[in-house]
Amino acid sequence: MSDTDATSAFYDGGCTCRHVRYRMTTKPLFVHCCHCTWCQRETGSAFALNAMIEADRVQLLAGDVVVVDTPSQSGKGQRITRCPKCEVAVWSNYYGAGDAIRFVRVGTLDEATHFAPDIHIYTSTKQPWITLPPDTPAELEYYRASERWPRESLERRAALLAKFPRPR
Ligand SMILES: [Zn+2]
Ligand SMILES: [Zn+2]
């Protein structure tokens, strides 16, 4: 994320068949590049790129979605939101943050280049041919938001926790 992004900017995205179109109404809280083996399997690729954002800042512009309960590394499951026609995943919700925070799949945004990773996580299982940029934080596993997120995002998170005191 760059500091020059206007907070009033919005970012549209959608699935491959264009049945689902959605909009992030602001920039996200934080962008994860996750190198865990679960993300590798679920994407069929080497990592997943997720933009974390408050659920009420994601609007469905067109189409409808299906939510698929999917096993997760925590054992508590994640719910992956997909297009009912082409079944491309557009975002997911994890147990920890419940319904309050969506993990938007950055590759489904029309202009995904806006959102380079703010952090690389689970690099202990990173594919060996990937070289991480030296100026982006990286964690062998997970991390504490209080130590990594910018102040503005922590304030947004605090507002969210006030609204939803206990994660689902
Ligand atoms: Zn579709
Ligand atoms: Zn992962």
> What letter would DSSP give residue 131?
P
Q: Which one of the ligands is nearest to 85 CA?
A: 1
pLDDT of residue 118: 98
pLDDT tens-digit series, residues 1-52: 444 455 558 999 999 999 999 999 999 999 999 999 999 999 999 999 999 9
Residues having C-beta closer than 5 Å to ion ligand 1? 15, 17, 19, 83, 85-86
C-alpha 58 – ligand 1 centre gap (Å) = 17
Angle at 15 (CA atoms; ends 39, 112), nearest 5 degrees = 70
Q: How far apart are CA 11 and CA 29, in angstroms?
A: 14
